[in-house]
Amino acid sequence: MYLVIAEKPSVSRAIAEVIGAQEREDGYLQGTDCMVSWCFGHLAEYVSPDAYDEKFNQWRYEDLPIIPKDWKVTVSEDKKDQFYILKRLLNSPEIEYVVNACDAGREGELIFKHVYDLSGSKKPVKRLWISSLEDSAILDGMQHLRSAEEYRHLAEAAVCRSQADWLVGMNATRAYTTKYFKKLTVGRVQTPTLAMLVERAGQISNFQKEKYFNVELDCDGIPAVKPKIFDPDEAEQLRSRCHGNEAIVTAVKETEKKTAEKKSSEKVTSIKAASEKKAAAKKTTAKQGTGKQATPKAELEMAAASEEKVTKTAEKAPKKSLKEELEAKIAESAKAEEERKNKTTGRKPAAKSRRNKQQEK
């Protein structure tokens, strides 16, 4: 029997499904030859300064710096139940060895180390080092477990980082707070990040326009530009070196860019095609009420004539905006549908509305 400890419940469930631990228990999953449990992230953390000495309950500048000789770790109040479950499993006589399945990285090593050390367990530890929760990746990782000793230095680096965070946060926060009589939190990551934000905000608020030069060459219609040269002497030197000399084209790269007019035309064309396709689907096989079916040849001729008519109209018509073109196409489609109905029923076409007349003009 072996025990797998993951960093989060979701990871534990994924691993349990692969290794066959399907029976749910209180705080872990049970299998025939394995158990899978989890940590809820950082179950344990370093204690606050007052746990070392009661005098640190009062924030005094004279007591700084606070540097513990023997570092103490405690379990978070809201996670104690899960820790006691892990402690019982880690010391269970059924367990032959433990698999550290926390995230593959420095923090994963730290999370497992704190729990393992606090539990007092002496079980041998193996490492599951995977970066994917795919079934194949989990299975391959479980088949090739590594020795925890390979990651000992990574775990020590995690401890060093965590203690450095504690030293900076606890001491610098108390120092600034007692100095300026206002709580000012300081952190190893927080403070440099805020400093970068303040620096960038200052650059934006104090921004001033700066004069620059562009050196432009006209090589028989092929422009070459060196933009934004802030030093006038540098710009002049570049201009003088190029003036009167030969320019050699070393590479040509062509890219097709769609203009706004071309995009508008393509959109109108696609709308027109969709409208014609919809109208064709509704069209009956009867031709002018005679009951005869239209042959494929006749349909092709009608489609070609319709396309030719649209093309000629587009060539003669003045340039319109996209909105006007869409409205015209919609009106044209409605007119065609009305004419088809009139031909089928033998009715006379209705009088054109003033709006349709204006659109046709």
Instruction: Kindly state the percentage of the chain with pLDDT values over 90.
Output: 54
Sheet strand arrangement including 146-147: 23-25, 28-30, 34-38, 2-6, 97-101, 125-127, 146-147
* pLDDT of 22 strictly over 60: yes
Cα–Cα distance for residue pair 123/115, rounded to 1 Å = 13
Position 88 scores a pLDDT of 96
Contact 128, 12 (CB under 8 A): no
Provide the pLDDT confidence category of residue 273 given band limits of 50, 70 and 90. low
Cα–Cα distance for residue pair 299/305, rounded to 1 Å = 10
Taking residues 118-132, report their average pLDDT.
95
* pLDDT of 286 strictly over 80: no
Residue 240 sits at the vertex; the CA angle it makes with 237 and 246, to the nearest 5 degrees, is 125
Taking residues 103-131, report their average pLDDT.
95
The answer to which of 9-13, 27-31, 54-58, 254-258 has the lowest mean pLDDT is: 254-258
Provide the pLDDT confidence category of residue 279 given band limits of 50, 70 and 90. low
* pLDDT of 226 strictly over 70: yes
Phi and psi at 158, nearest 5°, equal -65, -40
- Dihedral sign, CA of 99, 101, 106, 109? negative
- The contacts of residue 2 (CB under 8 Å, 6+ apart) are 33, 34, 35, 95, 96, 97, 98, 99
Position 16 scores a pLDDT of 96
* pLDDT of 303 strictly over 60: no
The answer to which of 53-67, 264-278, 299-313, 346-360 has the lowest mean pLDDT is: 346-360
Quote helix, strand, coil % in the chain, to nearest 5: 55, 15, 35
Residue type, 47: V
Contact 127, 148 (CB under 8 A): yes
- Mean pLDDT value across the chain: 82
* pLDDT of 72 strictly over 60: yes
Grouping H, G, I as helix, E, B as strand and the rest as coil, residue 33 is: coil
Cα–Cα distance for residue pair 138/135, rounded to 1 Å = 5
Confidence (pTM): 0.58
- The contacts of residue 7 (CB under 8 Å, 6+ apart) are 38, 39, 41, 101, 102, 103, 108, 111
* pLDDT of 349 strictly over 80: no
Taking residues 65-83, report their average pLDDT.
93
* pLDDT of 356 strictly over 50: no
* pLDDT of 314 strictly over 70: no
Position 129 scores a pLDDT of 96
Taking residues 175-198, report their average pLDDT.
93
Provide the pLDDT confidence category of residue 223 given band limits of 50, 70 and 90. confident
- The contacts of residue 268 (CB under 8 Å, 6+ apart) are 322, 325, 326, 329
Position 114 scores a pLDDT of 95
The answer to which of 139-153, 206-220, 309-323 has the lowest mean pLDDT is: 309-323
Q: Parallel, antiparallel, or unpaired: how do β-strands 2-6 and 222-229 relate?
A: unpaired
Position 165 scores a pLDDT of 94
Distances (CA, A) of 217 to 52, 211, 212, 238, 244: 73, 20, 17, 11, 11
Cα–Cα distance for residue pair 100/4, rounded to 1 Å = 6
Taking residues 239-262, report their average pLDDT.
77
Provide the pLDDT confidence category of residue 210 given band limits of 50, 70 and 90. confident
Provide the pLDDT confidence category of residue 64 given band limits of 50, 70 and 90. very high
Position 154 scores a pLDDT of 96
